[in-house]
Each structure stands twice: as structure tokens, then as C-alpha cells.
């Protein structure tokens, strides 16, 4: 307790700019990179205009996410101050005042919507849907079992779809289904890892509504769904030219990565999938092999 009391004043000494940067959670910005998924799958990442528009979409969604983080930290500040890890968040620690956090959240939301609007009405609509869904999540739906999983997964799907609308590329049913099942797989894996790591000291209230058996069931369904839909997409290229057939071969490292991550989750790891990717050699090797096969199949064919 002494350490906690002496650490809080130091956290409050962080400058406003630094506090706002922490409030926007830079470690989470990489999630917006999913806007490049549709252009990548279409083999269009060699077109400068496509890359530019996808980059703008990514920036827009980073700003929208930052606005949600600000509202979340503002709303949860009283509880965060009593949390063993979250007490150091800028609002809870006193580094950022509630009015400044609110102003930052509103400004980030407006800026994100302006950027999305500049990329077309379809992208703007997806941005509004993302903001509304995540806002409802923060305002209470994150405490509703099952709904919390669906909203977090929906956030990934909306960003992936925005990458297509922003660049004017068609979205196939395979792309959307892989995005949905893949997002559900990662989100459920994260919840399972949190559940196992928490033990009897559950700090996320909604976890108390789950059971290991149910999470395992959803994890299995989402894994099978992701692998099945990806396989349907990949195997349509059999009997094409040699390079295109590598897309079918990419199913093997893709499935290996899914199964490896599921194994890590079963052992209590996987709470941060992006970190596990670089910590686990098998997962990293599977990921690199998959990306290599996709790159050759999509861009050299």
C-alpha cells in the first residue's frame, strides 16, 4: 500500500501531452492496421492511391478508438484507482483532469469522423457504427456476457470493411466471414486467457459470468469457422497457375497458427495475441510462412 501511495503522485507529474498520449493507448494502435486487410487480399497494396486511402482510414479509426479509450477511462476512474494495475491510467492517477479527458475524447471522435467522411459515405457510416457500438460497450455492454465478445469482434469487422470501402474495393463474403470468425477466435482466446490468469481474483466483472467450458466451446466454434471459411477461399485457387496455387498451400500455416494460439490459450497465455506472436517461435514461423505464401500468390501471379 505504501508503494501505491508514493507512486501515484509521480504518475500525476506526467505532462498533459504525455498524459493524453497514454490516454490514447499507443500500444493498441496496431489494431487499426486491419484496414489494410481488404487491399492486401485484393492484391492492391502496390497501388499508391490505395495505400494512401487505407492509411487515412487507419488514422481515422485510431482517433475513434482514442476517443473511446478517453470516455472509458473517464467513466472507470473511480474503480481504476482501486485496481492493482489500472490505477496508473492518466485520469485515475490525476495526470489528466476529467474535463480535459472529455474534451480530448470529443475532439478525437470528431477528427476521426471527418477523416472517415472524406473517404466516402460508406466509410463514414462504418465509422459511425464503430463509434456507437464501442460507445455502448463502454457505457455498460462490456458487463453483459456474450454481448461484450460480439461487440469487440464487431469492432474488428467494421474496421476491416472500412478498409474496403475507403479504397473502393469489393468485399467478398469470404473476407467478411473470415474477419468475423477470426475476430471471435482472438477475442474469446483473450477472455479465456484472462479468466485462467485471474483465478479467484477476477478483476473484469463480466468474466464471472463465464465458465471455462463455455469459453472453450466458443473458442472451438470460432476456430473451426475461421479455418473452414479461409479454406473455402484458399482452395478455390487450385488448378490455377503455380503462384496462385500457393494460396491454397497457405491454409496449412494458417491452420497451424490458429491451433498454436489455441494451445497457448489453454495454458493461460494469449491475453495479448500480438505479444504472443513474437514470443512463440512456432506461432511466429507459421505467421511468416503464411504471409510469404500470400504475398507470392497474390502479387506474383
Q: Is pLDDT above 90 for 89?
A: no
Burial of 66 (0-12, 13-18, 19+ CB in 10 A): buried
Q: Is pLDDT above 60 for 5?
A: no
Compute the C-alpha angle 37/38/43, nearest 5°: 100
- pLDDT category of residue 36 using cuts at 50, 70 and 90: very high
How many of the other CB atoms lie within 10 Å of CB of 157? Answer: 22
Rounded CA-CA distance 170/65 in Å is 25
53 against 173, higher pLDDT: 53
208 against 160, higher pLDDT: 160
Q: Is pLDDT above 50 for 7?
A: no
- pLDDT category of residue 241 using cuts at 50, 70 and 90: low
Q: Is pLDDT above 90 for 117?
A: yes
What was the pLDDT predicted at 14? 54
Rounded CA-CA distance 194/189 in Å is 9
What was the pLDDT predicted at 175? 86
53 against 77, higher pLDDT: 53
**Contact indicator for 174, 233 with CB cutoff of 8 Å:** yes
- pLDDT category of residue 91 using cuts at 50, 70 and 90: confident
The mean pLDDT value for 266-286 works out to: 86
What was the pLDDT predicted at 6? 42
Q: Is pLDDT above 60 for 130?
A: yes
266 against 110, higher pLDDT: 110
Q: Which residues contact 237 (CB under 8 A, 6 or more apart)?
A: 244, 245, 247, 248, 297
What was the pLDDT predicted at 4? 44
Domain extents for the chain? 1-169, 172-301
What was the pLDDT predicted at 292? 95
- pLDDT category of residue 193 using cuts at 50, 70 and 90: confident
The mean pLDDT value for 269-291 works out to: 88
What is the value of pTM for the model shown?
0.86
Rounded CA-CA distance 132/217 in Å is 29
What was the pLDDT predicted at 202? 64
Q: Is pLDDT above 60 for 79?
A: yes
pLDDT tens sequence across 142-188: 889 999 999 999 999 999 999 999 999 887 788 889 999 999 999 99
Report the CATH fold assignment for 1-169. Tetracycline Repressor; domain 2 (1.10.357)
Amino acid at each position: 500500500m505504501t508503494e501505491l501511495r508514493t507512486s501515484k503522485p509521480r504518475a500525476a507529474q506526467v505532462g498533459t501531452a504525455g498524459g493524453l498520449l497514454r490516454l490514447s493507448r499507443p500500444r493498441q494502435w496496431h489494431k487499426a492496421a486491419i484496414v489494410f486487410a481488404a487491399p492486401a487480399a485484393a492484391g492492391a497494396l502496390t497501388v499508391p492511391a490505395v495505400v494512401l486511402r487505407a492509411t487515412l482510414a487507419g488514422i481515422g479509426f485510431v482517433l475513434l478508438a482514442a476517443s473511446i479509450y478517453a470516455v472509458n477511462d473517464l467513466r472507470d476512474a473511480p474503480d481504476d484507482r482501486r485496481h492493482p494495475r489500472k490505477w496508473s491510467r492518466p485520469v485515475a492517477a490525476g495526470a489528466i483532469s476529467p474535463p480535459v479527458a472529455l474534451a480530448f475524447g470529443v475532439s478525437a471522435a470528431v477528427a476521426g469522423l471527418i477523416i472517415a467522411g472524406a473517404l466516402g459515405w460508406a466509410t463514414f457510416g462504418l465509422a459511425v457504427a464503430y463509434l456507437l457500438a464501442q460507445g455502448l460497450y463502454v457505457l455498460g455492454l462490456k458487463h453483459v456476457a456474450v454481448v461484450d465478445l460480439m461487440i469487440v469482434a464487431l469492432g474488428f469487422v467494421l474496421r476491416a470493411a472500412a478498409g474496403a470501402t475507403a479504397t473502393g474495393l469489393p468485399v467478398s463474403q469470404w473476407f467478411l466471414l473470415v474477419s468475423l470468425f477470426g475476430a471471435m477466435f482472438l477475442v474469446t482466446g483473450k477472455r479465456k486467457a484472462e479468466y485462467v490468469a485471474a483465478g479467484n481474483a477476477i478483476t473484469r466483472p463480466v468474466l464471472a459470468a463465464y465458465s471455462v467450458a463455455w469459453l472453450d466451446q466458443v473458442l472451438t466454434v470460432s476456430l473451426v469457422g475461421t479455418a473452414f471459411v479461409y479454406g473455402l477461399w484458399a482452395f478455390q485457387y487450385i488448378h490455377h497457375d503455380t503462384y496462385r496455387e500457393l494460396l491454397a498451400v497457405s491454409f496449412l500455416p494458417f491452420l497451424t497458427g490458429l491451433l498454436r494460439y489455441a494451445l497457448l490459450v489453454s495454458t493461460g497465455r494469449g491475453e495479448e495475441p500480438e505479444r504472443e506472436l513474437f514470443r512463440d517461435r512456432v506461432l511466429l514461423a507459421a505467421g511468416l510462412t503464411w504471409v510469404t505464401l500470400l504475398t507470392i500468390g497474390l502479387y506474383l501471379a
